Structure 1
Amino acid sequence: MYLRRSTTVKYFIAAFLGAAVYCEWFIYLVQPQYWSELECSEHDSTCTKILFIADPQIQGNYAVPTPLNYLFNWDSDRYLKSTFSVVMKKFKPDVLVYLGDLMDEGSIAPYKDFHEYVGRLLDIFEVDYEVTQIWLPGDNDIGGENEPVRYEKLAEFEKSFQQPSVIYFRNISFYKVNGMTNKYPEGTDPDGNHTKDFKMIVSHYPLTHRRLFVLQMKDTIHPNIFFCAHTHESKYVTQSKDFTNRKTTWFNEPKGMLSLSFNEDTMYEVFVPTCSYRMGTSDIGYGAAVLENNNQHMRYTVFWSSTRFPYLILYLVILTLLLLYCLVFSAARFFHRKPKIKKPTADMSPLLERL
C-alpha cells in the first residue's frame, strides 16, 4: 500500500515513461535533421532516387532461447520498421535495393521458418506506394561464407522473391551478381534495347578486388558502378580499370556527400553500411543515391540511424533500480515490523460468578 503512495516509485515510473517517449518516438522525429539533403532538381526529369538496404539480418527463432527470442525479435523488427519508415517518408525513393543478409538464420532455418522470415521482412519493409524493389541473397540467407552455398535455399530464395537477374528501371539496368556462387547475368538484352542504359552492379559481396571475375563482367556488362554490403562498413573504393591505383575512403561523416562523375578509366564500388543495430557497430544507416543529368552524375549519402543499445541499457537500468528499491524497501518494512501487543479484554461476566 505504501509503494502505491511512494514518491520515489512515481519518479521511477515517470523516468521510464519519459525514456520510452524519447527512445521510441522523439529520436525518430529529430533524426532527419542530421541528414544531408538529397533531392532531385526540379528541372531534371531524368533523375532517379535509389535507396540501398544492407544486412538487416532479422533475428531468427533459434539464436536466443524461448521466450526471450520473442522479445528480441519484436524489438529488432520494430527498430528496422521505424528507421525504414522515417527514411521512406523523407527520401521517397523510386527504387529499393536489398543487398542481402536479409535473415540471420536463413541458410540453416527449416522451410517453415524461412517463409516466416520472408513474411516478417515484407512487413518490416512495407511500402505504401508503387516502387521497384530488387532483392539479393547474402551468405546468411543461402550460405557461402563459412559454409557451402545451400543451393536448395538459393532456389527457395528465388522462389520467394520472383525476379529476373536484371531489373530495368527507366534508363538504368540493375545487374544482380551473386558473389557466393560467382554467377552474373549474361545475354539478358538480346534486342539491344538497353545497351545505352546506365549499368549498375548490385551484389552482397564486394567484387572489385576479384580481378578475374570483374574482368569477365567488365567485358560482358560494362558496368558504371558497383554497390555492395557484407562488411557492415560505410566506405567507397576507387580503382583504375586496369586494377591499379586502388584507394579506399571511409564514408561515415554525419552529413557526408559523395559526388561522382563517371568516366572510362575509373571503377567505383560503394559499400553500404548495415541498417541493423545488432551488427556490433554504431555506424548504422541506409545508403541513398540520386542519379541525375541523364545518369552522368551521381550523389550518394547515408541516412544514419540512431543506435539502439544505449537506450535498451537505459530501460534496463531504470527497471533494475526500481526493482531493487521495491525489494529493499519491502525487506526493511518486514524486518522492522513491530509485533502487535494484545490488549486485555474486559471481563464481562457477572460479579457473583467472579467472586
Structure 2
Amino acid sequence: MFLRRSVLWKYLIAVFLGVVLYSEWFVYTVQPLFWKTLKCEEEQTCIRILFIADPQIQGDLAVPPPLSYLLNWDSDRYLRSVYSVVEKHFKPNVVVFLGDLMDEGSISTTAQFNNYIKRLSYIFNPYYPVVQIWIPGDNDIGGENEPIKHEKVVDFNTAYSQPSVIAYHNISFYKVSTLTNAIPRPLDGRDLNYKIAISHYPVLQNLFYAKQVINSIHPDIFFCAHEHKSKYVKQRRDFGYKETHLLQYNDPVLIIPLEDSEEVYEIYVPTCSYRMGTSQIGFGAAIVDSRQQHMMYTVFWSPGRFPYLIIYLFFLITILIYISLNCSLRVLSKFSSVAKTENMQQLLQRA
C-alpha cells in the first residue's frame, strides 16, 4: 500500500514513461527537422539515392543469451525505426547497401547467415517499390584480418543475386572491390550514363587498383564505407594531389558537378549503427540532377541511442533501490511491531 500511495513513486513512473515516449517515438519524429534539405526543381530529372553503410547487425556469438536477445532486439528496432523515418522523408529511388551488413557473417554457419539475412530484410523493408543494391563487406565474407571465405561469398550471392553492374535510368552502379580487385565490364552502348562506383573498402587509397578502375570504367564518383566516418576525398584523376574533408553535422549540402574530367570524388558514408563506437551515425543521401548537371549529397544524421539506454539503466537501478528500501522498511516495521506485541504480552503476563 505504501508504494501505491507514495508521491515519489508516482513521479518516478511518470518521468520514466515520458522518457520512453520521447526516446522511442518522439526523437525519431523530430529528427528530420535537423536534416539538410535536398531540393530538386523537377522530379523527372532527378534520381534519389540512399546509401546505407555498416549496419553490422549483432550476431549470436558476441553476447550469450538471454541478454543477446534483448540487445539484438534493441539494435534491430533502432535501425528499423530510423530507416523508416529516412525512407518516408527522402523517398529514394535506389537504396545502396555498402557492406558489413552483419557483424558475424564471415564466421557464421549457413543457418545463422540465413537468419541474419531475414533480420536485415525485416529491418530495411521498404514500404514502396525501390531498387536495392547490395555489396558485401569484410564482416560478411571475410577479407580484412582473414582470407575471403568462398562459402560466404556463395551464401551472399545466393541471398543477393545481382549483376556486377546495375543500371537505373541514366545511372550505372558498378560494384568494385579492393577485396577481390575485380573490375566489372562497362555496359555496352551506355557511355553517356552517370557512373557510380560502389565499394565497401575505399578505392582511391589503393593506387594500383584505383588506376585500373578509372582507366577501365571511367567512374564519375566513388562511394565507400568501412571506416565508419563521414568524409570525402577529392583527387585528380592523374593522382597528382588529393584533399580530404570531414563532413560534420552543420556542414552545407555538398555539390559535385557531373562533368568533371580533372577530379574525382570518393565519399565515405558513415555507419548507421549505434554500436560502432561513434556518435556520428547516419545515412548518406544523394540526388543526381541531370538537368542541373550536378549531384547533391548530405548525411541524414541519426539520433543517439546510448544516452537513452543509460537513462533507462539509471531509472531501473533507482526503481530497484527504491523498492528494496521500502521492502526493507516494511520488513523492519513488521518485525518491530511483532516485538512490541510480544513485549506487551510478557508485561501483561507478569502483571
Partner of 2:285: 288
Deviation at 1:255, TM superposition (A): 5.2
Query: Cα deviations across residues 127-151 of structure 1 (Å, max 9, x unaligned)?
Result: 1111111001000000011111111
What secondary structure is seen at the aligned counterpart in 2 of 1:302? strand
Aligned pair partner of 2:225 in 215, 221, 229: 229
User: What is the percentage of aligned positions where both structures have the same residue?
Assistant: 52
Determine the C-alpha separation between the residues in 2 that align with 1:254 and 1:2: 50
Deviation at 1:319, TM superposition (A): 1.0
Deviation at 1:15, TM superposition (A): 1.4
Asked if the contact 1:98–1:135 (Cα under 8 Å) also holds between the matched residues in 2, the reply is yes
Asked if the contact 1:256–1:302 (Cα under 8 Å) also holds between the matched residues in 2, the reply is no
Determine the C-alpha separation between the residues in 1 that align with 2:82 and 2:296: 22
Partner of 2:337: 339
How do 1:261-340 residues align onto structure 2 when only pairs under 5 Å count? 261=257, 262-294=259-291, 296-337=293-334, 338-340=336-338
How do 1:184-195 residues align onto structure 2 when only pairs under 5 Å count? 184-186=183-185, 188-189=186-187, 192-195=188-191
Determine the C-alpha separation between the residues in 1 that align with 2:279 and 2:170: 36
Question: Which TM-score applies when normalising by structure 2?
Answer: 0.94
* Structure with greater helix percent: 2
Partner of 1:241: 237
Asked if the contact 1:136–1:204 (Cα under 8 Å) also holds between the matched residues in 2, the reply is yes
Amino acid at match of 2:202: P
Determine the C-alpha separation between the residues in 2 that align with 1:254 and 1:106: 35
Partner of 2:348: none
Deviation at 1:263, TM superposition (A): 0.9
Deviation at 1:40, TM superposition (A): 2.0
Query: Cα deviations across residues 95-133 of structure 1 (Å, max 9, x unaligned)?
Result: 000000000000001100100000000110001111111
Asked if the contact 2:98–2:137 (Cα under 8 Å) also holds between the matched residues in 1, the reply is yes
Partner of 1:37: 37
Asked if the contact 1:35–1:255 (Cα under 8 Å) also holds between the matched residues in 2, the reply is no
Partner of 2:349: none
Determine the C-alpha separation between the residues in 2 that align with 1:33 and 1:134: 28
Determine the C-alpha separation between the residues in 2 that align with 1:255 and 1:211: 29
Q: Which of 205-214 and 75-84 deviates more? A: 205-214
Determine the C-alpha separation between the residues in 2 that align with 1:26 and 1:79: 13
Partner of 2:210: 214
How do 1:24-63 residues align onto structure 2 when only pairs under 5 Å count? 24-42=24-42, 45-63=44-62
Amino acid at match of 1:304: W
Asked if the contact 2:177–2:203 (Cα under 8 Å) also holds between the matched residues in 1, the reply is no
Deviation at 1:335, TM superposition (A): 2.4
**How many residues were matched structurally?**
340
Structure 2: unaligned runs, 5 residues or longer: 346-351
Alpha-carbon RMSD: 1.4
Amino acid at match of 1:12: L
Determine the C-alpha separation between the residues in 2 that align with 1:254 and 1:279: 22
Partner of 1:352: none
What secondary structure is seen at the aligned counterpart in 2 of 1:291? strand
Establish whether residue 72 from structure 1 lines up as the match of residue 68 from structure 2: no
Determine the C-alpha separation between the residues in 2 that align with 1:170 and 1:306: 33
Q: Which runs of 4+ in 1 moved over 6 A?
A: none
Deviation at 1:333, TM superposition (A): 2.5
Query: Cα deviations across residues 219-256 of structure 1 (Å, max 9, x unaligned)?
Result: 21011000000000000000111112211000013353
Deviation at 1:160, TM superposition (A): 0.4
Partner of 1:138: 137
Asked if the contact 2:224–2:266 (Cα under 8 Å) also holds between the matched residues in 1, the reply is yes
Asked if the contact 2:178–2:206 (Cα under 8 Å) also holds between the matched residues in 1, the reply is no
What secondary structure is seen at the aligned counterpart in 2 of 1:117? helix
Asked if the contact 2:178–2:209 (Cα under 8 Å) also holds between the matched residues in 1, the reply is no
Determine the C-alpha separation between the residues in 2 that align with 1:46 and 1:166: 22
Query: Cα deviations across residues 295-326 of structure 1 (Å, max 9, x unaligned)?
Result: 83011000000010000000110111011011
Determine the C-alpha separation between the residues in 1 that align with 2:52 and 2:208: 28
